[in-house]
């Protein structure tokens, strides 16, 4: 009597599970890529504004206008003017912060919520 042969390779259920996992993570990546691409635009605009000469001497309204203009040009839609904070803790320091939340659908009635906080310090 011959013993049971040991099966080698993957079964059909294992293949289905692997394909399902790949599909799930691919869906998440497809949904999150535009959100993180926009965040990259926001942080790069904030850094470039902070690196400009004389930005520390601008008023809060002028800084807000400059940032919103850059966001309009680069099609940043998720950051509102209410999400931009400008603080001047002392005479020689200014902090520009952008804090916003993005809600994007994952699948069905499940949403993903991502919070972003970017901050730069400007010394005039």
Domain boundaries, the chain: 34-122
Which whole number is the average pLDDT over 72-85? 95
Which whole number is the average pLDDT over 27-54? 95
Indicate the burial class of 96 (C-beta count within 10 angstroms; 0-12, 13-18, 19 or more).
buried
Residue 4 binned pLDDT confidence (cut-offs 50, 70, 90): low
Which whole number is the average pLDDT over 13-35? 94
CB 122 within 8 A of CB 48: no
Can you say how many angstroms the Cα of residue 91 is from the centroid of all Cα atoms in its chain?
32
Residue 92 binned pLDDT confidence (cut-offs 50, 70, 90): confident
Q: What is the per-residue pLDDT for 7?
A: 63
């Amino acid at each position: 009597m011959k013993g049971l042969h040991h099966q080698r390779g993957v079964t059909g259920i294992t293949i289905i599970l692997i394909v399902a996992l790949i599909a799930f993570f691919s869906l998440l990546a497809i949904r999150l890529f535009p959100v993180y691409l926009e965040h990259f635009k926001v942080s790069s605009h904030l850094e470039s504004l902070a690196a400009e000469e004389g930005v520390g001497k601008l008023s809060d309204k002028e800084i807000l206008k400059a940032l919103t203009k850059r966001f309009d040009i680069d099609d940043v839609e998720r950051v509102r003017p209410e999400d931009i904070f400008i603080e001047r803790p002392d005479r020689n320091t200014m902090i520009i912060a952008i804090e916003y939340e993005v809600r994007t659908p994952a699948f069905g009635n499940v949403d993903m919520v991502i919070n972003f906080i970017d901050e730069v310090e400007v010394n005039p």
